[in-house]
Amino acid sequence: MEQMAQPSLLEKLEILADAAKYDASCASSGTAKRSSSAGGKGIGSTEGMGICHAYAPDGRCISLLKVLLTNHCVFDCHYCINRKSSNVRRARFTPQEVADLTLSFYRRNYIEGLFLSSGIVKSPDHTMEQLIEVARILREEHDFRGYIHLKTIPEADAELVHQAGLYADRVSINVELPTVAGLTRLAPDKNAGRIEGAMGGLKTAISEGADATKRFKHAPKFAPAGQSTQMIVGADAATDADIVGKASQLYGRFKLRRVYYSAFSPIPDASAVLPLKRPPLIREHRLYQSDWLMRFYGYAPGEVADAAGADGMLPLDIDPKLAWALRFRERFPVDVNRAPREMLLRVPGLGVRAVDRILASRRHRTLRLEDVGRLTVSVAKMRPFIVTADWRPVTLTDRADLRAMLAPKATQLELFAA
């Protein structure tokens, strides 16, 4: 069937990086601290904070060499550019080629490490073995101490998945779609139960590994940067409230480090089974903001859902924190000189850093509006929601047109819109 000549290594890189770009994650943070030592064989280090070595014009961080081992795939997931029925050019790397590319890039300081995923070839087990082989070459033959993220295949044997965790800093399995109905329709070869079962298995292995490392100094580390997942937004009919609910459930049940959202975006040779309109990129942004509210600002999932409209969708023109504040105006204004941390965190425009600065500063002075302005980026947006020594919003929070006053101008929004 294949009439084209074997692609060169450069062409393979082009095909298999292009095929990998729909995975949003490129994080290289939060793993165990490691460094290479003089005179030894090893190369590489990880220091907790990840490094973005470049940014693409899509605004995304390039931290890792993110490629597929192959984009041949026996699965036929409709949202995926690599699905069996898609008419894209196919290629496959050998494990050695991926390991060599990783090291060549790493030595030139282009990357923090490798994020390796793959289409399913022959069988899930065979594919998983190939992924593990790349990690093995890097870790064992080259004593590579940089970051490795392996996408694991839920259909593969649990023992293989476990082996992946022993080499990798992070492992991930994509839940793909927020609802089971969506998965059945758009990823007919995948099975929600199987995916969640595998995530549960990883959770257990990660927490057992962390526990063993605490008690035995030389216990092998299992995925010290934990596990993450990705959900595609806008390819099925799930609302923002559905997605937020699903995400919080995943965080809770599987102790995920991150849930990534990927707004379904046009792909070459799209499947015809995706009849829905493509979601605006700003929707993905609003979901990340709501994710942030749950993880760092103390909002319960139900509270984020309250910020959504009756249709379960978060407003696109304002951020979910402002939307929540506008809905629960009776909770405001908040006195920045007296309010507890939890309430300060609810003030639109006040971030975690600014709140901590306010808490420290107010021990030294009674804060005026001007002082708050110095501690934050902009005081304009938060004025209706705060009380300071010299400022009290009188009727502002009751004004019907408050939302219109605070929402960014429509022209600004279009820069983000699809």
Applying CB under 8 A, the span of 164-172, 191-199, 277-285, 386-394 interacting with another protein comes to 277-285
Give the integer Cα–Cα distance in Å for 113 and 128: 19
Count Cβ atoms below 10 Å from residue 84 Cβ, excluding itself.
14
CB of 375: closest distance to another protein in angstroms? 5
DSSP secondary structure of 293-337: HHHHS---HHHHHHHS-TTS---SSS-HHHHHHHHTGGG--EETT
Contact residue for another protein among 271, 317, 351, 393 (CB under 8 A): 271
Q: What angle do CA 71, 284, 200 make, to 5 degrees?
A: 65
Binders of another protein among residues 348 to 367 (CB under 8 A) are 357-358, 360-361, 363-365, 367
Helix (H, G, I), strand (E, B) or coil at 99: helix
Contact flag: residue 276 with another protein (CB under 8 A): yes
Q: List the one residue from 25, 27, 29, 66 that touches another protein (CB under 8 A).
A: 66
Q: How far is the CB of 59 from another protein (least distance, A)?
A: 3
- Based on the shown chain and the rule CB under 8 A, indicate whether residue 59 belongs to the binding site for another protein: yes
- The correct pick among 375, 382, 386, 406 for binding another protein (CB under 8 A) is 375
- Report the 10 Å Cβ neighbour count for 208: 12
Asked whether position 371 contacts another protein by CB under 8 A, the answer is yes
Distance CA 218, CA 76 (A): 43
**Interaction between residue 300 and another protein (CB under 8 A):** no
Is residue 267 near another protein by the rule CB under 8 A? yes
Task: Please list every residue from 161 through 220 that binds another protein, using CB under 8 A.
Answer: 181, 184-186, 188-189
> In terms of C-beta density within 10 A (0-12 exposed, 13-18 middle, 19 or more buried), how is residue 412 classed?
exposed
What is the total count of residues that contact another protein (CB under 8 A)?
83
At closest approach, how far in Å is the CB of 327 from another protein? 29
What is the closest distance, in whole angstroms, from the C-beta atom of residue 61 to another protein in the complex?
7
Rank residues 43 and 396 by Cβ distance to another protein and give the closer one.
43
18 lines the binding site for another protein (CB under 8 A):
yes
Q: Please check whether residue 237 is in contact with residue 288, taking contact to mean a CB–CB distance below 8 angstroms.
A: no
Given 1, 4, 5, 10, the residue binding another protein (CB under 8 A): 10
Question: Per CB under 8 A, which of residues 98..127 are in contact with another protein?
Answer: 101, 104-105, 107-110
Element (H, E) at 219: none
Which of residues 28, 265, 289, 290 is near another protein by CB under 8 A? 265
The closest of 337, 325, 328, 324 to 387, measured between CA atoms, is: 337
Q: Which of 37, 96, 204, 249 binds another protein (CB under 8 A)?
A: 37
Q: Running DSSP on this structure, what letter comes out for residue 92?
A: B
Q: Residue 351 and residue 376: Cα distance in Å, rounded?
A: 8
**According to the binding rule CB under 8 A, does residue 330 interact with another protein?**
no
Give dist(CA 13, CA 324) in Å, integer.
45
Closest to another protein by CB, 219 or 418:
418
Q: Do 294 and 300 contact (CB within 8 A), yes or no?
A: yes
Across-strand partners of 150? 116, 171
Choice from 52, 166, 212, 343 touching another protein (CB under 8 A): 52
Per-residue burial over 365-384, b = 16 or more CB atoms within 10 Å of its CB, e = otherwise: eebebebbbebbeebebbbb
Q: Which of 84, 162, 295, 403 binds another protein (CB under 8 A)?
A: 84
Near another protein by CB under 8 A: residue from 1, 4, 5, 272: 272
Please state the closest distance from residue 374 (CB atom) to another protein, in A. 5
Q: How many CB atoms lie within 10 A of CB 238?
A: 20
CB of 5 to another protein, least distance (A): 18
47 in contact with another protein (CB under 8 A): yes
Q: Find the Cα–Cα–Cα–Cα dihedral 293, 354, 319, 381, rounded to 10°.
A: 150
To the nearest whole angstrom, how small is the minimum distance from the Cβ of residue 403 to another protein? Answer: 25
Q: Considering the complex, what minimum distance in angstroms separates the CB of residue 250 from another protein?
A: 23
Task: Give the list of residues 6+ apart from residue 397 with CB closer than 8 angstroms, or none.
Answer: 329, 332, 333, 384, 385
Minimum distance from residue 17 beta carbon to another protein (Å): 4
Select from 1, 5, 394, 415 the one that contacts another protein (CB under 8 A): 415
Q: Kindly state the smallest distance separating residue 280's Cβ from another protein, in Å.
A: 11
